[in-house]
Structure 1
């Protein structure tokens, strides 16, 4: 084996022009794969951050309440008791935050704009609120009564800015008239990718209770928020199952997992003829299911690009080594005349291809990973891509796993491409050396 390695290295050095060209091909292929995987990982991370900032926790327990069958409120009537049930099941490194959710219409003058409304616990969510990108104002001001933060989509539609007055309209459960609440605009938030203005109205929990006419002990949803270390070791689905079991034992009726976003459940539940309180446990992936096409599309694109790149590597090496077999007929025949067996000839050519693939793909992965690290957050995106990628700058997350996978795939493709040329070389007879003289 050592002799074959020496021969392979000597042959690559003797034909270094061809070897350099093939190294460039394999390095480019590996670099493209690393870049695509870094982009997919970066977009997925940006999307998750946007979802867990605006709409969801890692795991959520929310409520749906019906006074009579044709009304529905996204609320838990006794959130304190629900918290007592799930708190013992909260993993280390995680906390529960209380939020509200619903639908409302914001108005200013004669202009109106309907949107989902999200309420926050301003005092307990300083870190989360710091992740909101603001065009103007401060979210700390939401701690005052009757204040609101609007997304750029809603604010532009209403033509309001910080300091202006707006009116929020909502339909309380069981009431025949809509509630109206005059509020002061204290901040305008930038869009969060494709979420756009879907969570365009942001208020405090107390303001939402006043608008909807809820009792003080009510809450819309309890959201589990964890640090990165806790999330890495957490089995979210298993934890969600534990929450459901505990809530059922406590006497609550819990909806089965449907892997749908909160907004997608409203209409089907409204059509059902039940009354009272039902709870729902969902993951952040459930709540972002309407955005799954982004990550799934990027994954499909990465797969397609990977197949094309590997095909280019395979065809390039196949053609190059096929030509090399013809050019090296005398050399191969001489080796066969000196006693080299056919399996050794096959091994020699395959070893050359594998060396080209391994060295080239490793260089490409290192260069691409370094470029991704340098370009992360440094390239400003146009608005269309900002919405799609959930970030204002190019989101790249290069990882060791992606680099290793790229090296393995390119090296495998290179080895696969050498099989046929190597088999042709092994079929040459020793007399071909004499005929080539």
Structure 2
């Protein structure tokens, strides 16, 4: 093995110009591949973070309560009983909370926006507040300072609200200002409440533009419902990959407990109102989803990026494979006499085959290693600069307000392995042809 690697390395050094050109091409594609993977994984991670911070758990027990056929209120009755069933059925859960859901018009003296209302119990939301940070004044006010104002703990006070920097900027609000929430209650009448801004948090991706948080009792009062109702029970897990298995377990458990459960619909709850309103049933039905269902309306971003990445990398890989095959053919022609000599002194065909394949693999490994190193340095520099994203379309695509990329060891290792395998496979056919050269013919051709 050591002899084979030594021969492969010497052959690469001997054809310096060809090695440099081909190695540069492999390194560029490896850099691009690593960068695209980092972007894709960053967006996916931010989707999970945004979803499980703002609007969903890894598994969600929601549902609808119909008091008449055309109704579709996103409410759950028997809140305490449902939570007890969840806690018992999912002992591995790292947290179980419930939030009331609503939708309203948020009005300030300067402007207004539509946003989802989240009624929370502050003492249960340690995970939520740990994920947030208070926004600097400069994030929502032109010529603002780098100071932060307010406190998340002030949300314990009656009639207070937490909003995000993007909302504060549009509404021209600061901590201590008053906003008005207008909602339509179950009876069809409009209800309003004035809330004081207790804290302004930094945006959690663009999805934070659609949510404000207040005490659970505020939302109960706005919708005139009792304390044993809620909007959704959220289950948090150590591993998001187990979400589907836990959801199916809960589905079976609730059916065994006598609850009606809707068929799984991988869409957020607000996209199911019309469907539920058109169904002929009364009472309560549970609707179980996982985190990706609740943000399915933006999953096209990662799907589109993965599709584009696959096309780009495939095209570049084809070019690389063509270049390596051509390079190997040239190497075979230049070293025909060498091959004949090796075969004449007893080198088996397998040795010749391995020699060329090892040469290509070494080239792929060294070149992709340089590409990975360069790509990692670029990603590290970008992350360190903390570059703000000012374009709304770019913020939507990147799911963030600053340019940050996630890079994991598994991505680096898989990139090295992938390009080593690609270069090795590309050299296989020329190497096979070289190994089949007869010693006499090879020596004659080499003259």
TM range, normalised to the smaller chain? Answer: 0.7 to 0.9
- CA deviations on 1:83-124 (whole Å, 9 max, x unpaired) are 122111233351211211121122235954322212222122
The equivalent residue for 1:430 is 440
Counterpart pick for 1:231 among 226, 239, 253 = 239
Matches within 5 A, 1:330-369: 330-340=337-347, 342-366=349-373, 368-369=375-376
1:411 aligns with 2:423: no
Distance in 2, Cα, partners of 1:297 & 1:146: 42
The equivalent residue for 1:145 is 158
Distance in 2, Cα, partners of 1:356 & 1:389: 34
Runs of 4+ in 1 over 6 A off after TM superposition: none
TM-score after normalising by structure 1: 0.88
State the Cα distance separating 1:54 from its structure 2 match: 0.6
State the Cα distance separating 1:309 from its structure 2 match: 3.4
Matches within 5 A, 1:37-436: 37-92=37-92, 94-108=94-108, 111-135=111-135, 137-173=150-186, 175-199=187-211, 201-226=212-237, 230-231=238-239, 235-340=242-347, 342-366=349-373, 368-369=375-376, 372-373=379-380, 375-376=382-383, 378-384=385-391, 385-425=394-434, 426-427=436-437, 430-431=440-441, 433-434=443-444, 436=446
Distance in 2, Cα, partners of 1:105 & 1:94: 34
| Aligned CA distance change for structure 1 residues 11 and 430 (closer, same or farther; 3 Å) | farther
| Aligned CA distance change for structure 1 residues 324 and 167 (closer, same or farther; 3 Å) | same
State the Cα distance separating 1:290 from its structure 2 match: 0.9
State the Cα distance separating 1:293 from its structure 2 match: 1.0
Structure 2 residues without counterparts, runs of 5 or longer: 136-148
TM-score after normalising by structure 2: 0.86
Kindly indicate whether the alpha-carbon contact (under 8 Å) linking 1:259 and 1:282 is maintained by their aligned counterparts in 2. Answer: yes
The 3-state SS of whatever aligns with 2:298 is helix
Distance in 2, Cα, partners of 1:396 & 1:154: 25
State the Cα distance separating 1:292 from its structure 2 match: 0.8
The 3-state SS of whatever aligns with 2:124 is coil
The 3-state SS of whatever aligns with 1:183 is strand
Q: Which is worse superposed, 10-19 or 76-85?
A: 10-19
Distance in 2, Cα, partners of 1:138 & 1:271: 44
State the Cα distance separating 1:74 from its structure 2 match: 1.5
Kindly indicate whether the alpha-carbon contact (under 8 Å) linking 1:151 and 1:190 is maintained by their aligned counterparts in 2. Answer: yes
State the Cα distance separating 1:61 from its structure 2 match: 1.0
State the Cα distance separating 1:287 from its structure 2 match: 0.8
Q: Which is worse superposed, 352-361 or 152-161?
A: 152-161
Kindly indicate whether the alpha-carbon contact (under 8 Å) linking 1:148 and 1:187 is maintained by their aligned counterparts in 2. Answer: yes
